Amino acid sequence: MDSKYASYGKEKDQRNKFDIKAKKIKLSVDGNSFKNVKENNQANGSCNNNTVSALNEVSEDVQDVRKSLPVYIVRNRILEEIRKNNTMILIGETGSGKTTQIPQILHEQRLEGNGAIAVTQPRRVAAITLALRVATEMNTEIGSYVGYSVRFEDATSPKTKVIYLTDGMLLREAIIDPLLKKYSIIILDEAHERTVNTDVLFGIVKLAQKERNCKGNKLKVIIMSATMDVDTFRNYYDNCSVVYLEGRTYPVTIYHSKTKQDDYQYSVVCAIFQLHVTTPANHHFLVFLTGQEEIETVMANIKQIAKESPGPPIRVCPLYAGLPPAKQLLVWKSVPEGTRKIVLATNIAEASVTIPHIKCVIDTGLVKERSWCNVTGAERLRIVPCSQAACWQRAGRAGRTAPGSAYRLYTNGDFKARPQHNTPEIIRCPLAATLLMLIATGMEPSTFPLIDAPSPDSVQASLILLKELGAIESENNPKLTVLGKKMTAFPIDPKYSKVILSAPEHGCLDEALSLVAVMSSENVFHTPLHKREEAVKAKQKFVSTLGDHITLLNVFKMFCKAPLKKQWCKENYLNHKNLSYACDIRHQLLAICQKLNMEVSSCGTAFDQLLKCLLSGLFTNCAWTRGGMTTGAGKYATASGAAAALHPASSLHGLRPPPPAVLYTELLHTRRAYLLTVSAIEPHWLHQVAPEYARRCRANR
């Protein structure tokens, strides 16, 4: 009876999983219902770069469009506030135009004086597109009066007065000049996202402002945000003034689920088909899910049910960051008249990208979140309810071009019980890189003003790591060493900069650069659910018995040699974007090495040297087999005593006997604790490469 479902997966249990779901859903397409909780609830969207794409579609004269923006209409009041105050918070909803207009208005009045205006963005694409848009509006070339600065790309010149840049770039500038004297006005946009970089910039800018105001070289600071915890920000900036701007979004009607949903993947498919048969075909759906596998499963379910469901034809589009760009593009491609588009997305669709003509949002209210344990160094990925702010942000995606509706697969009570805002990233991520950067700008980590401080244990753990890497004198006296100073030159994880700086003595800088570049990029292997076997087979030709690091190096080397890179990647199930990014990073790292007069040596195929070099930066990431051979399945214990297994995707997985000692790149807890990207090492290498650490390690074990 179930032969029609058999094509989904080749493994038996997988097929059964699909069968059950599909059957259950078919029976209840019209069974699930929602309660209309609020009518005409204006969703709180975010501000940002979306203004740009929306504006580009308008054929009217650029200046007319500008002048119709809410922010333009109240510009004189805003100017007055900015003139009066050194610090100001500007809350603006989606479509208010604040990010494109405020810098122009300031520049028109020459408020920047001899300095420049910096506008920070959390994302590269946003910084670039905003700058291009504003250059058009100001009728000037990009890179003259208006420019942008992002990693690998600098479109500014000495005469640039308005600079859009990623917050990470402004942070790098702060290492060279902590007072940021180049700028007379700094606008920190998208403050509500609370990325680590923005959080650190809040403090750097606050301190710079204090010091510069004493010296008569004033710095104006404007914090821009969509919804946010205004009181927190206002307290932090000494009760500065707050201006609210109206947005221009359409009303979104919110519906909550009447009862608690036990199985959200099932509820999602129910909701989709319930709405599918009752709404016009040109009402496209945007569905928020948590990850690739889930999206692929739901997509398969929808396609199967659609065959027998009434209603218009359906086109399902997956959207997640790991999807190759060519496949992502399908989301923006128009569908034939009378076809419904259903986009299944992760939270990438929450702020990073905008999909036009979405009338209906279906929200699971969940997000996959990464957190860090500062005792074991393990990172954990788990599915958690998202904040109220994120829920509003998601709902707002239905009201971009016309009124819409949002269906929440959780109850109103559940919604109200959620935290108002997401936990700031700085509370839950490893801090070594951030602390090294702070120390490099001359700040004292213990007194640096942060809106939300990470736990003292978390700071201490990261300082200890920096001490072990030889970057600072001691955890209680966090002064940069000569090595530490060199490490700050590299825009990568301190462990990796240590690897590069150790490479000359192991005679393998050439290989170390490639390996660090790939490890600093994202996963290069693309594994679609339905083509897993082909992907695994393609990977075989790169696999090294020494482990995953040499495997990665093989991939990178062959990528560099391949003449038709895109096609080659597709054939080999590799991610072209991430490999190209690794190439860019390698160029950048090589240039820094050359500035530091490092000799580019190669170890050829003497990979022991490379692995020892890798160990000199990642020596805290060793694990040893435990309990002899009885477990057999590759059970390991890390230096901190955490139990973990080799990840099944590792090339060392399944080796009998398992290597007694391994070096891992990452310890990630999903369903279990796994060691990711692993190489076999000789146990005595640790004593050679990091003798002090090895001794302490032994004492504790």
Cα distance between residue 235 and residue 421, in whole Å: 17
| 406 or 644: CB nearest DNA | 644
What tokens were used for 462?
């990261």
Task: Name every residue whose Cβ is closer than 8 Å to that of residue 305 and which is 6 or more positions away in sequence.
Answer: 22, 25, 26, 29, 269, 273
Q: Which is nearer to DNA, 240 or 440 (CB)?
A: 440
Judging by DSSP bridges, how do beta strands 358-363 and 284-288 pair with one another?
parallel
Nearest to 549 by CA among 596, 496, 504, 475: 496
Identify whether the C-beta of residue 581 lies closer than 8 Å to the C-beta of residue 522: yes
| Of 513, 475, 482, residue with least CA distance to 610 | 513
Nearest C-alpha neighbor of 508 from the set 652, 654, 608, 380: 608
Cα–Cα distance for residue pair 236/231, rounded to 1 Å: 8
Tokens 């206002």 found at: 234
Between residues 173 and 359, which has the closer beta carbon with respect to DNA? 173
Neighbours of 663 (CB within 10 A): 25
Between 243 and 426, name the residue whose CB sits nearer to DNA: 426
| Nearer Cβ to DNA (83/537) | 537
Rounded Cα gap, residues 534 and 605, in angstroms? 28
Considering the complex, state which of residue 349 and residue 472 has its C-beta at the smaller distance from DNA.
349
> Which structure tokens are listed for 158?
């000495």
Query: Left if phi > 0, otherwise alpha if psi is -120 to 50, otherwise beta: which for 562?
Result: beta
Distance between terminal CA atoms of the chain? 57
Residues 6+ apart with CB under 8 A from 130: 49, 52, 99, 100, 119, 121, 148, 164
- Pick 218 or 380: Cβ nearer DNA: 380
Peptide bond into 657 cis (omega under 30): yes
User: Residue 691 Cβ, how far from DNA at the closest point, in Å?
Assistant: 29
Q: Which of 663, 632, 669, 637 is nearest to 650 (CA)?
A: 663
381 versus 562: smaller Cβ distance to DNA: 381
Q: Name which of 101 and 290 has its Cβ closer to DNA.
A: 290
Q: Minimum CB separation from DNA for residue 261, in Å?
A: 21
Identify which of residues 93 and 193 has a Cβ nearer to DNA in the complex: 193
Which residue, 87 or 441, is less far from DNA as judged by CB? 441
Residues of this chain that interact with DNA (CB under 7 A) are: 122-125, 150-151, 166, 168-169, 171-172, 195, 197, 290-293, 320-322, 346-348, 352, 367-370, 381, 433, 491-493, 520, 522-523, 527, 532, 633, 647-649, 653-654, 666, 668, 670-672, 674, 676-677
Rounded to a whole number of angstroms, the minimum distance from the CB of residue 649 to DNA is 5
d(CA 285, CA 696): 56
Cα–Cα distance, 634 to 626 (Å, whole number): 9
> Residue holding tokens 């001899």?
114
| Rounded CA separation 18/619 (Å) | 44
The continuous run of DSSP H or E covering 585 comes out as helix 576-595
The C-alpha atoms of residue 230 and residue 113 are separated, in whole angstroms, by 29
- Please, which residue, 143 or 291, has the CB nearer to DNA? 291
What's the min distance (Å) between Cβ of 123 and DNA?
3
Cβ nearer to DNA, comparing 352 with 602: 352
Distance CA 50, CA 186 (A): 21
Count of other CB atoms within 10 angstroms of residue 388: 19
